[in-house]
């Protein structure tokens, strides 16, 4: 073995032993590793990727970012728009009612006007996540809320507890 190869082997061996700790038996054991906690439990989730996954095969346009937060919306001709926000900061919808989504606390209500509905999901340690549906017809309030609730039910398992 050449001098350079021997040096590489010794460096690799030393690095491997450096990652070990010793026990009472003086035998090397792997040193415990600790992952740095993420400050934001929703950080790994990209709103547009999640929305596209939830709406796959339903005829919606690809999700497009809304604003500067982790929020995304998509539309379908003749229907309206849907969006999800993984950094929801707008507060509670007007006339909100408590709701249970897969065992998670939530609120459901009219967001801005007729034909719209929002479900705000509680995400402990983070701003709530939300689903919003805005239908083309203002007369379809009940349908907007049913669609927002369905979207929230699909989104909920992806959120941290």
50 pLDDT band (50/70/90 cuts)? very high
161 pLDDT band (50/70/90 cuts)? confident
Helix, strand, coil share (%) of the chain residues, nearest 5: 25, 30, 45
Report the alpha-carbon distance of residue 58 to residue 54 in Å, rounded. 9
More confident residue, 67 or 20: 67
Q: Is the pLDDT of residue 147 over 50?
A: yes
Q: What is the mean pLDDT of the chain?
A: 77
Report the alpha-carbon distance of residue 102 to residue 99 in Å, rounded. 10
Residue given tokens 């927002």 in the structure block: 148
Give yes or no for a contact between 116 and 143, defined as CB atoms under 8 angstroms apart.
no
Residue 62 main-chain phi, psi, to 5 deg:
-60, 145
What per-residue confidence (pLDDT) applies to 95?
Answer: 76
Q: Is the pLDDT of residue 138 over 90?
A: no
Residue 152 main-chain phi, psi, to 5 deg:
-65, -40
Lowest mean pLDDT among 81-85, 109-113, 125-129, 130-134: 109-113
Structure tokens given for 77: 């001709």
Show Cβ contacts of residue 85 under 8 Å, excluding neighbours closer than 6 positions: 47, 66, 69, 70, 71, 129, 130, 132
Structure tokens given for 18: 């450096």
Does the global pTM surpass 0.95? no
Residue 82 main-chain phi, psi, to 5 deg:
-130, 150
**How much of the chain, in percent, has pLDDT values that exceed 90?**
53
Q: Is the pLDDT of residue 17 over 60?
A: no
- Kind and range of the H or E element at 142? helix 141-155
Q: What is the pLDDT of residues 28-40, one digit of tens each?
A: 444 444 444 445 4
More confident residue, 63 or 110: 63
């Amino acid at each position: 073995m050449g001098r350079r190869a021997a040096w590489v082997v010794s460096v690799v061996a030393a690095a491997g032993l450096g990652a070990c700790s010793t026990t009472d038996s003086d035998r090397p054991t792997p040193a415990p590793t600790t992952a740095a906690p993420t400050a934001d439990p929703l950080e790994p989730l990209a709103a547009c990727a999640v929305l596209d996954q939830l709406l796959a095969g339903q005829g919606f346009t690809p999700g497009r970012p809304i604003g500067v937060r982790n929020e995304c919306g998509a539309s379908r001709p003749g229907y309206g728009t849907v969006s999800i926000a993984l950094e929801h900061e707008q507060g509670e919808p007007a006339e909100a009612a408590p709701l249970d989504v897969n065992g998670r606390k939530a609120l459901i209500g009219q967001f801005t006007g007729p034909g719209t509905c929002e479900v705000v999901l509680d995400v402990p340690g983070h701003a709530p996540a939300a689903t919003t549906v805005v239908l083309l017809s203002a007369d379809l309030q009940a349908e907007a809320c049913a669609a927002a609730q369905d979207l929230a039910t699909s989104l909920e398992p992806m959120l941290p507890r």
